[in-house]
Chains A and B, each alone.
Chain A
């Protein structure tokens, strides 16, 4: 039962990863007893499961995911939302208004208009239906301030860090509120634009260097240095 890769080696689609008693994990597929890669990424195995951490992928919705999207169209009884996925998401009017929706009385574009950004949760999604969003929970809804940035969706776990170590460190150092959309869209809200800028630079750095180790410490150091520089400039 051999494996044909070193830990964290770059593999390409079609590359034979393992043969024998193995399970096909993320971004891999099984053909008989052989496991092949299906995306460009870093190969890794855990117990008997072979995974490939994709270096580039797109977002596929999953129920319960928090995402950040743009309203693209105001419809008769809800909105269409672009969540940077292959499928367009829907948000129902009754969900936002939290009361029965009356088409005669309610003007939907006054609640949310095309171009508005929202933080939402995927309420329902399967192969046959487009994702359905909900904003009926604390912390969800229209975005009124802050800055938006995009990273590859596969890098979001790296931005969060082990048990949230990375993201809580950035929040603490910059004093910004950060909402990570699992679709790769990130909202940064701080007291002033400089703080937001600093947090965004840090996240950018994480995306670019996501496959290196000891990243949390280096980011922390970078943030401290940048802050010290700013203090000096003020004097």
Chain B
């Protein structure tokens, strides 16, 4: 009962962000399918592939990015999509720091609320909300394909599910990092800002590492390194190992968050 009350309150506080992001990212799926259908109909994909410099193709996962299948799946690996979902998770997960900053812990934790519930609440909220948005994106993608695309022109649903899961694993990893920091800090902007900045840096690092061989060893520290969406879409393997690794890092961050919050002065 207490836990559900905390979850409901947190969801209510984040509802505008959740609704806005869900509409934007689901709408983007429809837009991409519309674009892909038009490019296909006008026979522009071969020209597009020829125009794209090899290093860009490499950075985006290969020539598949300039195909019908690549375009309709772009809504799952476009940098703006990945970073906006990551930032939403980071913001929601940094709620414990915000509650200390605003003094709201004095109201909530002064009641018979076990401390660990505050962290568990944030884990549940940020992970379920981002999962909800990704599921909506998936459903929007499939619906748009069914209504707009010519028969047979689509990416197999199972591959797109793996991509969606892999994307969620990346997003959850950043959320957990924000929670680990937010459970220690007194200022939400500092906790969320630091992790959001790190997410942008790590994306750029991975982008550079994919295009320039000498950077590749360093690129491994980026969670985006473990998200090869085009490889999955082409059916070259399932990303189960990458997902397992990302979830392990997520668990480590969550462990740190619990440990910090249980011992800190609020």
A binds B: no
